[in-house]
């Protein structure tokens, strides 16, 4: 699979699966031996089981997710993909905004992912023009 198609699929599946809180749809995007880092200073999760653990735990804390995913920016086998989510996390309304740097293998599965994000109190929608490459 071409990296641009893999990035588009990643963006679509993450958006839809986050809204539906469908852990397994997200896990299916990743190679069995993926390295998945959700914060710069946190130890990365390893393999699909690591992705499953992280996503299931996050979804268990969240409800009513409103999710937006930007148009991927692709270079070689890597993509930068912006995302934005307004959720109720542990009964507190918050907004998360971040970017995932994703490297795909030849089959279009994620081999490596590095996330960077910020959080603010309250539910906010992305600003006008957000998410366009």
Specify the pTM: 0.95
SS3 14: helix
Asked if residue 70 belongs to a domain, the reply is yes
CATH number of 31's domain: 3.10.450.50
In a domain, 128, yes or no: no
Look at the chain and report how many structural domains it folds into: 1
Does any domain span residue 30? yes
Residue 54 resides in a domain: yes
Question: Residue 133 domain-assigned?
Answer: no
Boundaries of domain holding 56: 3-121
d(CA 131, CA 118): 16
Q: Could you report the per-residue pLDDT of 44-103, keeping only the tens digit for each? A: 999 999 999 999 999 999 999 999 999 999 999 999 999 999 999 999 999 999 999 999
Assigned domain for 132 exists: no
């Amino acid at each position: 699979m071409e990296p641009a198609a893999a990035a588009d699929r990643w963006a679509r599946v993450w958006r839809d699966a986050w809204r539906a809180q469908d852990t397994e749809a997200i896990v299916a995007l990743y190679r069995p031996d993926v390295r998945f880092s959700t914060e710069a200073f946190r130890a990365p999760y390893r393999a699909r089981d690591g992705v499953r653990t992280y996503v299931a735990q996050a979804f268990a804390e969240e409800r009513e997710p409103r999710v937006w995913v930007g148009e991927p920016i692709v270079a070689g086998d890597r993509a930068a993909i912006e995302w934005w989510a307004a959720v109720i996390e542990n009964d507190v309304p918050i907004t998360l905004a971040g970017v995932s740097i994703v490297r795909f293998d030849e089959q279009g599965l994620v081999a490596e992912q590095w996330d960077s994000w910020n959080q603010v109190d309250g539910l906010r929608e992305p600003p006008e023009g957000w998410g366009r490459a």
